[in-house]
Amino acid sequence: MSFDIDVAIVGAGVAGLSAAAALRAAGRRPVLFEALPRIGGRAFTDHPAALGGAPFDLGASWLHAADRNPLAPLARAAGIGLRATEGSWTRRIMLDGWAATEAELAAYQATSERFERLARARAAAGPDASVAEAVAGLRGDPWLPLVETWQATLIAAADPREFSVQDWHLNELTGGNLAVAGGVGAMVARVLAPPPATLHLATPVRHVAWDRPGGGVAITTGAGTHSAGACIVTVSTGVLRAGGIGFTPALPEAARAALDGLPMGLLSKLGIAAGPTPLLPAGTSLYHRVADAGERAMFFSRPLGQDHIVSFFGGRAAWALAAAGPAATEAFARAELARLLGGAPPLGPAVLSDWGTNPAFLGAYAYARPGCMAARAAMAAPIGAGLVIAGEAWCMDGLAGTVGGAFLSGARAAGLVQRKDGFTGA
Ligand SMILES: Cc1cc2nc3c(=O)[nH]c(=O)nc-3n(C[C@H](O)[C@H](O)[C@H](O)COP(=O)(O)OP(=O)(O)OC[C@H]3O[C@@H](n4cnc5c(N)ncnc54)[C@H](O)[C@@H]3O)c2cc1C
């Protein structure tokens, strides 16, 4: 049977671009359909006027797990500068108006280590539990909510009460972080750029029919319907859970159950122009000790020597602010910074991410609910004769939620298309 398209790929984020590159290398002819007028998805370096045109990663900004991140060698081969971030940040934690002393920072470090020991032990021994339940023995330690903020709310974008400790353990980002010259999004757009003739931008896919009598898949966009020998769908679990793409027949029950187990967390970023005032030394991370995980924002001053401050907030607080709107979010971050610095600093305009409300994403990245870690493996095989689901959420290599994980998942999806009998294409 012949098809209009050999392999259709829905989404030109890292997973879709990685799948396309692997298929091209194998001699296949993939075609990408992307809803937005740009590639990269959640890896996106903007150059906003608010920050004087400086590169600003609205999504991914580091290559985590440097020693096993598949994008690091690609960036190096393209001559893109990578810099290890270990030791390059100075931490300043504020407690009721004063900066934590060395002894207090040592107490924080000790709580972090106890947290890791307890959480790893529970993850290994099972049964699965929430991160909060796994470390319940530390409740009452004044540093625990801040450790949970880092380990769950910021790194996994998830509330520790709703996040699987086994998933936390599987995806611990050990091995160092790399900063990327010019931004992660710009690097992705450069090293994974597909041939322009194989890319349809601003072309959202509305429908995928995957169980056709003659085999293959039919995908429908605003411009019409195309048949394809196979289809790799790489949109976020947020888009799939919200029904952003219709499927005929509906996705199998096991796939829908897996989606229930992998909701999207939210991490939001606000970049604020710092101007010439040396407000904080470059490379300072500044935040409050918190009473409840994720309730406050965290700030990085002048990353990569740039003239701006980046504010991060995650989990429930980030969702509440996304619902309240950009003005409320910006006001919150500026008020937080003023509290941290003991007075409103003279700052310039700001730029805010919209991952929680943008219908192309509906969150930052997926986390597993307690008991649902196995959901990440639910898409390890094709659905029907021609449909494969990929993306950061479905990475089983310990890098779920990251650009490295999205890359590996896309490559795996390409491998499934290559191996599957009948995925012969046009
Ligand atoms: C604030 C933030 C900070 C982060 N920090 C880091 C970090 O420092 N390091 C790291 O490794 N990772 C980080 N991540 C996570 C990382 O960005 C993602 O895991 C990764 O980029 C996801 O890639 P993906 O290809 O799976 O999905 P996506 O990037 O979401 O790609 C899917 C694509 O599908 C498109 N799409 C959606 N609907 C349709 C449709 N109907 N038809 C066609 N196309 C559609 C979308 O526009 C998108 O381009 C961060 C993410 C966020 C949001």
Same domain membership, residue 156 and residue 18: no
Q: What is the pLDDT of residues 259-307, one digit of tens each?
A: 999 999 999 999 999 876 667 788 888 889 998 888 888 998 888 778 8
Q: Check: CB of residue 403 under 8 Å from CB of residue 14.
A: yes
Q: Is 232 in the pocket of ligand 1 (CB under 6 A)?
A: no
Q: Is residue 327 part of a domain?
A: yes
- Statement to judge: residues 254 and 109 lie in one domain: no
- 298/226 same-domain check: no
Q: Are residues 252 and 293 in the same domain?
A: no
Query: Is 426 a member of any domain?
Result: no
| Model confidence pLDDT, tens digit, residues 296-306 | 889 988 887 78
Ligand 1 site, residue 30, Cβ cutoff 6 A? no
- Domain housing 27: 5-40+192-263+366-419
- Please say if the pLDDT value at position 410 is more than 90: yes
Interval 207-218 mean pLDDT: 92
Residues 344 and 371 reside in one and the same domain: no
Find all residues with CB under 8 Å of 48, minimum gap 6, and list them.
Answer: 56, 271, 351
Judge if the beta carbon of residue 143 lies within 6 A of ligand 1: no
The C-alpha atoms of residue 308 and residue 347 are separated, in whole angstroms, by: 9
Q: What is the CATH number of the domain that holds 383?
A: 3.50.50.60
Domain count, the chain: 2
For residue 133, give the CATH number of its domain. Answer: 3.90.660.10
Instruction: Tell me whether strands 205-209 and 246-248 are parallel, antiparallel or unpaired.
Output: parallel
Looking at the fold, whether 241 and 381 belong to one and the same domain comes out as yes
- From 352, 381, 406, give the residue that closes a domain: 352
Q: Is residue 69 part of a domain?
A: no
pLDDT tens digits, one per residue of 316-331: 999 999 999 999 999 9
**CA 181 to ligand 1 centroid distance, Å:** 20
Same domain, residue pair 272 and 152: yes
Looking from the CA of residue 61, the nearest atom of ligand 1 is 8
Residue 6 scores a pLDDT above 80:
yes
CA of 91 from ligand 1 middle (Å) equals: 29
Residue 157 located in a structural domain = yes
**What is the 3-state secondary structure of the chain?**
CCCCEEEEEECCEHHHHHHHHHHHHCCCCEEEECCCCCCECCCCEECCHHHCCCCEECCCCEECCHHHCCHHHHHHHCCCCEEECCCCCEEEEEECCEECCHHHHHHHHHHHHHHHHHHHHHHHHCCCCEHHHHCHHHCCCCCHHHHHHHHHHHCCCCCCCCCEHHHHHHCCCCCCCEEECCCHHHHHHHHCCCCHHHEECCCCEEEEECCCCCCCEEEEECCEEEEEEEEEECCCHHHHHCCCCEEECCCCHHHHHHHHHCCEECEEEEEEECCCCCCCCCCEEEEECCCCCCCCCEEEECHHHCCEEEEEEEHHHHHHHHHHCHHHHHHHHHHHHHHHHCCCCCCCCEEECCCCCCCCCCCCEECCCCCCHHHHHCCCCCECCCEEECCHHHCCCCCCCCHHHHHHHHHHHHHHHHHCCCCCCC
Supply angle C-alpha 106, 109, 112, rounded to 5. Answer: 155
Q: Is the CB of 417 under 6 A from ligand 1?
A: no
356 CB within 6 A, ligand 1: no
Contact 279, 309 (CB under 8 A): yes
Q: Sheet containing 62-63: which strands, arranged edge to edge?
A: 62-63, 178-180, 82-84
For the chain, the farthest-separated pair of C-alpha atoms sits apart, in whole angstroms, at 71
Question: Quick check: is 425 in a domain?
Answer: no
| Residues 167 and 272 reside in one and the same domain | yes
Give me the mean pLDDT over the 106-110 stretch. 96
Residue 68 belongs to a domain: no
Q: What is the pLDDT of residue 238?
A: 98
Instruction: Report whether residue 365 contacts ligand 1, using a CB cutoff of 6 Å.
Output: yes
Q: What is the mean pLDDT of the chain?
A: 93
| Residue 186 lies inside a defined structural domain of this protein | no
| Residue 426 pLDDT greater than 50, yes or no | no
Find out whether the beta carbon of 352 lies less than 6 Å from any atom of ligand 1: no
- What is the CA(95)–ligand 1 centre distance, in A? 35
Residue 275 lies in a domain: yes
